[in-house]
Amino acid sequence: DIHLTQSPSTLSASLGDRVSITCRASQSISTRLAWYQEKPGKAPKLLIYDAFHLQSGVPSRFSGSESGTEFTLTISSLQPEDFATYYCLQYNTYLYTFGQGTKLEIK
Protein backbone atom coordinates (compact mmCIF):
# COMPACT_ATOMS: atom_id res chain seq x y z
CA ASP A 1 0.00 0.00 0.00
CA ILE A 2 1.09 3.56 -0.66
CA HIS A 3 1.80 5.54 2.49
CA LEU A 4 1.53 9.32 2.74
CA THR A 5 3.54 11.26 5.30
CA GLN A 6 2.00 14.67 5.91
CA SER A 7 3.75 17.44 7.80
CA PRO A 8 3.51 19.33 10.00
CA SER A 9 0.73 17.83 12.10
CA THR A 10 -0.03 21.25 13.57
CA LEU A 11 0.74 24.67 12.16
CA SER A 12 0.23 27.97 13.97
CA ALA A 13 0.03 31.06 11.79
CA SER A 14 -1.42 34.56 11.64
CA LEU A 15 -3.83 36.23 9.27
CA GLY A 16 -2.06 37.22 6.08
CA ASP A 17 0.73 34.67 6.50
CA ARG A 18 1.91 32.41 3.69
CA VAL A 19 1.93 28.78 4.81
CA SER A 20 2.82 25.45 3.26
CA ILE A 21 1.89 21.86 4.07
CA THR A 22 3.83 18.92 2.67
CA CYS A 23 2.81 15.39 1.77
CA ARG A 24 5.41 12.78 0.85
CA ALA A 25 4.39 9.53 -0.86
CA SER A 26 6.17 6.24 -0.17
CA GLN A 27 6.39 5.55 -3.90
CA SER A 28 5.58 7.23 -7.19
CA ILE A 29 1.96 8.31 -7.57
CA SER A 30 2.45 10.41 -10.69
CA THR A 31 0.39 13.55 -9.93
CA ARG A 32 -2.57 11.65 -8.47
CA LEU A 33 -2.79 13.67 -5.29
CA ALA A 34 -5.56 15.87 -3.95
CA TRP A 35 -5.84 18.29 -1.04
CA TYR A 36 -8.91 18.67 1.15
CA GLN A 37 -10.01 21.16 3.78
CA GLU A 38 -12.08 19.92 6.68
CA LYS A 39 -14.00 21.92 9.25
CA PRO A 40 -15.69 20.48 12.35
CA GLY A 41 -19.01 18.82 11.62
CA LYS A 42 -18.69 19.23 7.86
CA ALA A 43 -17.65 16.96 5.03
CA PRO A 44 -14.21 17.51 3.51
CA LYS A 45 -13.96 20.00 0.67
CA LEU A 46 -11.80 19.38 -2.39
CA LEU A 47 -9.29 22.19 -2.95
CA ILE A 48 -6.69 20.82 -5.36
CA TYR A 49 -6.66 17.71 -7.58
CA ASP A 50 -3.98 16.14 -9.73
CA ALA A 51 -1.36 17.87 -7.57
CA PHE A 52 -1.88 21.43 -8.81
CA HIS A 53 -5.29 21.82 -10.43
CA LEU A 54 -7.50 24.25 -8.51
CA GLN A 55 -11.02 22.93 -8.00
CA SER A 56 -13.74 25.19 -9.35
CA GLY A 57 -14.82 27.81 -6.84
CA VAL A 58 -11.72 27.53 -4.65
CA PRO A 59 -9.93 30.84 -4.03
CA SER A 60 -6.70 31.38 -5.95
CA ARG A 61 -4.72 31.87 -2.73
CA PHE A 62 -4.64 28.06 -2.59
CA SER A 63 -2.09 26.37 -4.82
CA GLY A 64 -0.47 22.97 -5.16
CA SER A 65 2.91 21.83 -6.42
CA GLU A 66 4.77 18.60 -6.95
CA SER A 67 8.37 17.49 -7.00
CA GLY A 68 8.73 13.77 -7.50
CA THR A 69 7.01 12.13 -4.55
CA GLU A 70 6.75 15.34 -2.52
CA PHE A 71 3.64 17.48 -2.79
CA THR A 72 2.95 20.87 -1.28
CA LEU A 73 -0.19 22.84 -0.55
CA THR A 74 0.43 26.57 -0.18
CA ILE A 75 -1.96 29.22 1.08
CA SER A 76 -0.58 32.57 0.00
CA SER A 77 -2.33 34.88 2.48
CA LEU A 78 -4.29 33.31 5.31
CA GLN A 79 -7.89 34.38 5.72
CA PRO A 80 -10.04 33.73 8.81
CA GLU A 81 -11.97 30.96 7.05
CA ASP A 82 -8.77 29.05 6.24
CA PHE A 83 -8.18 27.88 9.80
CA ALA A 84 -9.15 24.23 9.49
CA THR A 85 -7.63 20.78 9.09
CA TYR A 86 -6.05 19.82 5.77
CA TYR A 87 -5.56 16.35 4.32
CA CYS A 88 -3.80 15.00 1.28
CA LEU A 89 -5.20 11.98 -0.56
CA GLN A 90 -3.46 9.80 -3.13
CA TYR A 91 -5.59 8.04 -5.74
CA ASN A 92 -2.95 6.61 -8.04
CA THR A 93 -4.47 3.14 -7.74
CA TYR A 94 -7.88 2.02 -6.53
CA LEU A 95 -6.46 1.76 -3.02
CA TYR A 96 -6.50 5.36 -1.89
CA THR A 97 -4.80 6.66 1.22
CA PHE A 98 -5.04 9.86 3.23
CA GLY A 99 -2.26 11.71 4.95
CA GLN A 100 -2.51 12.11 8.71
CA GLY A 101 -3.82 15.66 8.52
CA THR A 102 -2.52 19.12 9.40
CA LYS A 103 -4.39 21.32 11.82
CA LEU A 104 -3.93 24.98 10.93
CA GLU A 105 -4.40 27.13 14.01
CA ILE A 106 -4.47 30.83 14.67
CA LYS A 107 -1.30 32.04 16.35
Partner 1 sequence: QVQLVQSGAEVKKPGSSVRVSCKTSGGTFSSDAISWVRQAPGQGLDWMGVMIPMFGTANYVQKFQGRITITADASSSTAYMELTGLTSEDTAVYYCARAPASIAAPDSWGQGTRVTISS
Q: Which residues bind partner 1 (CB under 8 A)?
A: 1, 32, 34, 36, 38, 43-44, 46, 49-50, 53, 55, 87, 89, 91, 94-101
Nearer to partner 1 by Cβ, of 53 and 61: the residue is 53
Nearer to partner 1 by Cβ, of 9 and 12: the residue is 9
* Least distance between partner 1 and beta carbon 16 (Å): 28
* Least distance between partner 1 and beta carbon 15 (Å): 26
Cα 84 from Cα 17, distance rounded (Å): 15
Beta strands in the chain, from DSSP E residues, in sequence order: 4-7, 10-13, 19-25, 33-38, 45-49, 53-54, 62-67, 70-75, 85-90, 97-98, 102-106
Nearer to partner 1 by Cβ, of 13 and 46: the residue is 46
Strands 10-13 and 102-106: parallel
